[in-house]
Amino acid sequence: LLFVQVWVAGAIGLFGAFLLIQTVMLRLRFTPTDLDVYRGETLIRRFPYQEWQNWEIFWSPVPILFYFREVKSIHFLPIIFDPKMLRMCLENRFPKA
């Protein structure tokens, strides 16, 4: 039982370290036409709003997951940024119908 607890604690710790690194390295930029994802100063992905169908921020009391659906794919991102600012930017750039 102790081995399992140590293993689970280690896995959670590694996941926390991963999220910390992502928080430091990744940036979202909302442009008039796209959601751009940057690692440092390098653009790693562009998501044009015209291809979006829907978006949602999951779990209202403690927002932990950002979901959006494009015509060809579905995306889930852990919320590693300010959820209120994320919601404001999403509502400004791609208002819900």
Task: Note the pLDDT of residue 24.
Answer: 77
By mean pLDDT, which of 11-15, 27-31, 81-85, 90-94 is the weakest?
81-85
The model's pLDDT over 35-80, given as tens digits with 9 standing for 90+, comes to 999 998 999 999 999 999 999 998 877 788 889 999 989 998 888 7
pTM of the model: 0.73
Burial state string for 84-93 with b = 16 or more CB within 10 A and e = fewer than 16: eebeebbeeb
* Beta carbons within 10 angstroms of residue 32's beta carbon: 7
Q: What residue ranges do the domains of the chain occupy?
A: 2-93
Distance, in Å, from the CA atom of 34 to the CA atom of 82, rounded to the nearest integer, reads 19
Count Cβ atoms below 10 Å from residue 35 Cβ, excluding itself.
21
CATH topology of domain 2-93: PH-domain like (2.30.29)
User: Residue 83 — pLDDT band, cuts 50, 70, 90?
Assistant: confident
